[in-house]
Amino acid sequence: MTAQIIDGKKISMDIREELRPRVDLLTDKGAKPGLAVVLVGDDPASQVYVRNKERACEKLGILSVKHDLSQETSQEELLALVENLNQDPSIHGVLVQLPLPSHINEKEILYAISPEKDVDGFHPQNLGRLVIGDPLFLPCTPWGVQELLLRSGVQVEGKNVVIFGRSNIVGKPLTMMLIQKAKGANATVTVCHTRTRNPEFFTRSADILIAAAGSPGLVTSEMVKEGAVVIDVGINKVNDRLVGDVDFEGVSKVASLITPVPGGAGPMTIAMLMANTVKAAEYRIGL
Ligand code: GUN
């Protein structure tokens, strides 16, 4: 079998274009959506991500305000900025790019973002709402994975889904999303991680395998069931090349559908961030 490639770039552009009439309507009503992006320090990968987020905003007519802070920014300064953005009526979404420098207490910063402006969906109130099936903002990367599956015609209901990785940003929220009694969910989800014994025992039973461990070459063809759908959320730099967690060449020979890196799950994160920003602006004016 040769897997068909899921074009995340194309699907993400479709989603972004679908948002345009909603942005235009908000703008006509004097509530142009605004996203504040806070970057602390000069991590090169974060700089690229932030630039891509800004560009996506500009293309859609969303106001984008970047706060570029030095590596030496203190906890108090960063907290004060977040408080300011919480109060700013032109801003509907506040995103603090991770990772933060090691002297910053990341948890305290994320908890300080107003849950109504938490377009990353990282605030405990939003994660808690996700767990009980009453979400406000879904974390962008897991939501992007769910949309990729939905728009590729992959049935999730009743399927065995194995998620490799248990991060707060991807693995845990994605698990919660896919076990919900809801459209595009209702799956049986197994989570594998660094302490899982014989992960191939689980991954070989997966109808849908999602790799989100941040470990290049983690998923090889022997670990994948013939005909499985494989979603690669990993973004790793190896010898100046971007690769995922999946051995794309090998796994393409056994999977039925597979996402590439780059051009798979990555662009979806930005599309869902735009969707959350629009949603935040709509929420504010009661639409
Ligand atoms: N760093 C890597 N992914 C993300 C993300 O989705 N949001 C933020 N804020 N930082 C990140």
Q: Is residue 251 part of a domain?
A: yes
Can you read off the two tokens belonging to residue 70? 């030095």
Mean pLDDT, consecutive 10-residue segments, the chain of 287 residues? Answer: 96 98 98 98 96 98 98 98 98 98 98 98 98 98 98 98 98 98 97 98 98 98 98 96 97 98 98 98 96
Q: Is residue 237 part of a domain?
A: yes
Q: Which residues of 29-39 are buried (b: 16+ CB within 10 A; e: fewer)?
A: eebbbbbbbbb
Residue whose C-alpha is closest to residue 167's, from 255, 86, 239, 106: 106
CB 236 within 8 A of CB 215: yes
Which residue's CA is minimally distant from atom 9 of ligand 1? 97
Q: Is residue 38 part of a domain?
A: yes
**pLDDT the model gives residue 212:** 98
Answer whether 242 contacts ligand 1 (Cβ < 6 A). no
Which residue's CA is minimally distant from atom 4 of ligand 1? 98
Answer whether 110 contacts ligand 1 (Cβ < 6 A). no
Mutation probe of ligand 1 site: the residue of 46, 118, 120 with most atoms within 8 A of C-beta: 120
- Whether residue 214 sits in one domain with residue 159: yes
Q: What is the pTM of this model?
A: 0.98
CATH code at position 55: 3.40.50.10860
Which residue's CA is minimally distant from atom 2 of ligand 1? 98
- Whether residue 149 sits in one domain with residue 95: no
Which H/E stretch holds residue 33?
Answer: none
**pLDDT the model gives residue 1:** 80
- Whether residue 105 sits in one domain with residue 184: no
**pLDDT the model gives residue 17:** 98
- Whether residue 189 sits in one domain with residue 88: no
Q: Is residue 146 part of a domain?
A: yes
**pLDDT the model gives residue 182:** 95
Q: Is residue 15 part of a domain?
A: no
Q: How far apart are CA 255 and CA 274, in angstroms?
A: 31
- Counting the structural domains of the chain, the total is 2
Residue whose C-alpha is closest to residue 257's, from 138, 144, 151, 136: 151
Q: Is residue 178 part of a domain?
A: yes
Contacts of 27 (CB under 8 A, 6+ apart): 33, 61
CATH code at position 181: 3.40.50.720
- Whether residue 248 sits in one domain with residue 152: yes
Quote the domain boundaries for residue 54. Answer: 30-114
Catalytic residue among 7, 117, 118, 120: 120
- Whether residue 255 sits in one domain with residue 144: yes
Mutation probe of ligand 1 site: the residue of 98, 107, 174 with most atoms within 8 A of C-beta: 98
Q: Is 117 a known active-site residue?
A: no
Q: Is 225 a known active-site residue?
A: no
- In ligand 1, the atom with minimum distance to the C-alpha of 120 is 7
**pLDDT the model gives residue 170:** 98
Say whether 61 sits in a helix, a strand or coil: coil
- Whether residue 36 sits in one domain with residue 83: yes
